[in-house]
Amino acid sequence: MSEAADLRFHADALRLLAVVPRFDSDAADQIARAEAACGRPLPAAVREWYTLTGAEELLTLDNNACGVMPLAEFLRYFVQGRREVEFYGPRRANTGYQAFIRLDGADDPPIVVDGDPGPVPFAEYVRGVAEYKVSSGL
């Protein structure tokens, strides 16, 4: 059973989604192994998101057309040393929408969305997707 999660970055997004934050210890263990394998920490805001129970599904939109990249796949690219890793994008249909985390060493790293004028902090992006999901009734 997961325990209550204390949030620094994503409390607003979870409030919008009407979700009680719960800590996923299995996800935390996967992240710790990946960090040990590559010798660098995952940004705090990204770690906080992926250690929430159900993180991969909380922002899923439109009958699974778009969503968060599964943790195992995200960590595979992270361990490979990529400096930009996809966080959000198409799942079952090519929606033409993708968002990439720029792993620049910041606790709340910038996220770059295809076609947007500039990056925004990761937590702000997550909150924006949560707002869109709630306002769209998805």
Tell me which of 94 and 26 has the higher pLDDT.
Answer: 26
pLDDT at 60: 86
Q: Answer whether 133's CB lies under 8 Å from 15's CB.
A: no
Q: Is the pLDDT of residue 1 over 70?
A: no
Please write the tens of the pLDDT for every residue from 49-104.
999 999 989 988 777 678 899 999 999 999 999 999 999 987 666 666 889 999 99
Q: What number is the average pLDDT over the span 1-28? A: 88
Q: Three-state secondary structure along the chain?
A: CCEECCCCCCHHHHHHCCCCCEECHHHHHHHHHHHHHHCCCCCHHHHHHHCECCHHHHCCECCCCEEECCHHHHHHHHHCCCCEEEEEEECCCCCCCCEEEECCCCCCCEEEECCCCCCEEHHHHHHHHHHHHHHHCC
Query: What's the whole-model pTM score?
Result: 0.91
Give the total number of structural domains in the chain: 1
pLDDT value, residue 50: 97
Q: 138 versus 26: which is more confidently predicted?
A: 26
Q: What pLDDT score was predicted for residue 136?
A: 83
Q: Which domain holds residue 102?
A: 3-136
Distance CA 34, CA 97 (A): 27
**Which of 24-28, 91-95, 106-110 shows the lowest per-residue confidence on average (mean pLDDT)?**
91-95
Mean pLDDT over residues 21-43, rounded? 96
Q: Which is more confidently placed, 135 or 96?
A: 135
